[in-house]
Amino acid sequence: MTFSIVARSADGRLHGVAVASKFLAAGALVPAAEAEVGAVATQAHVNLAYRPQGLALLRTGVAAADVVAGLVAADPGRDDRQLGVVGATGDGATWTGPRCHPWAGGQAGDGWAAQGNILAGPHVIDAVRDAWLGGGGLPFPQRLLAALHAGDRAGGDRRGRQSAGLLVVERHGGYAGTGDTLVDLRADDHPDPVTELVRLLDTHTLLFGKPDPATLRDLAGPLADEVAGLLTAVGHPVGPAGLDDALASWAGVENLEERLVPARIDPIVLDHLRRTAPQIPAPRRTR
């Protein structure tokens, strides 16, 4: 009742799953991933035990194809299951049980596997594959979502749309470096869930994306004066602790703290501050 892709980044640092389905909250059931270990998608008649068991096998260095073989061999319900696995290295692997509702099937290659059931046809998985392989220039979360979006546009789940999810892990890639979950977004019940997931990922990137060092601007001279004035206008005047402290105080309220860099400013933060601050009228000229 679902189509998904499990994949690994080219450098092996990120693993993730993107999934869509005519099923409530598929993102809560289908995906599992562990940083520098691998990712698993369980679907059709979901077997939630596949998630911890698959990751445990990957953690010991078992290849994806052998993980799939081991999981389904031990499962009496395997004929109704669908499974995708990718590990830290090598090809991904996929399984489609013979009793999955048509069209059902999957494909796999180096660092990825795509699978689906109750689809509009095999061209859905072809579209997922082609978008994944052609998306090497995209950031990893956006590449996963582009592949999912391609499958959705190709017809996706033939019953319609309801939910979508995106899970991406990276060692210390989570909030403030305190966890490994880089992205965990879901549209659980939505008329166009994949498009909604694109919007959510854009918002996530705005708030939690790391600034591009090449675009950072020094907080000095006229720019520092402007930022200080804008911060005062939004109720965070510069105090004895200095401009960085006032900027951090405001950014924390606006949920932009992940984009702060001492003594410099991300243009995304600067643009948001300019939009947020009340317009300060220019001083009147006297004759």
Per-residue pLDDT averaged across 164-187, rounded?
97
pLDDT of 169 reads 98
Mean pLDDT of 255-284: 87
Is the pLDDT at 163 greater than 80? The verdict is yes
**Where exactly are the structural domains of the chain?**
2-208, 217-276
Residue 282 to residues 158, 279, 285, Cα–Cα distance (Å): 59, 9, 9
**What's the average model confidence in pLDDT over 151-158?**
95
pLDDT of residue 1: 67
Question: pLDDT band at residue 287, thresholds of 50, 70 and 90?
Answer: very low
Range 198-216 average pLDDT: 95
Residue 281 has pLDDT above 70, yes or no: no
Is residue 52 within 8 Å of residue 38, measured between CB atoms? no
Q: What is the mean pLDDT of residues 111-139?
A: 97
SS3 134: helix
Sheet of 81-87, strand order: 31-34, 38-44, 81-87, 93-96
Report the pLDDT value the prediction gives residue 186, as an integer from 0 to 100.
Answer: 98
% the chain with pLDDT above 90? 96
pLDDT value at position 286? Answer: 42
Instruction: Write down the mean pLDDT value for the chain.
Output: 96
Mean pLDDT of 116-143: 97
pLDDT digit string, tens, across residues 25-77: 999 999 999 999 999 999 999 999 999 999 999 999 999 999 999 999 999 99
Superfamily (CATH) of domain 2-208? Aminohydrolase, N-terminal nucleophile (Ntn) domain (3.60.20.10)
Q: How confident is the model at residue 282 (pLDDT cuts 50, 70, 90)?
A: very low
Tell me how far apart the terminal alpha carbons of the chain are, to the nearest angstrom.
Answer: 75
Determine what percent of the chain is predicted with pLDDT higher than 70: 97
Give residue 278's pLDDT. Answer: 86
Residue 280 has pLDDT above 70, yes or no: no
- Which phi and psi angles does 129 have, rounded to 5°? -60, -50
Is residue 192 classed as helix, strand or coil in its secondary structure?
A: coil
**pLDDT for the residue 219:** 97
Task: Report yes or no: 40 and 83 within 8 Å, Cβ to Cβ.
Answer: yes
- For residue 262, how many C-alpha atoms fall within 13 Å in the half-sphere facing its CB? 2
- 150 pLDDT more than 50: yes
Residues 6 or more apart whose Cβ sits within 8 Å of residue 279: none
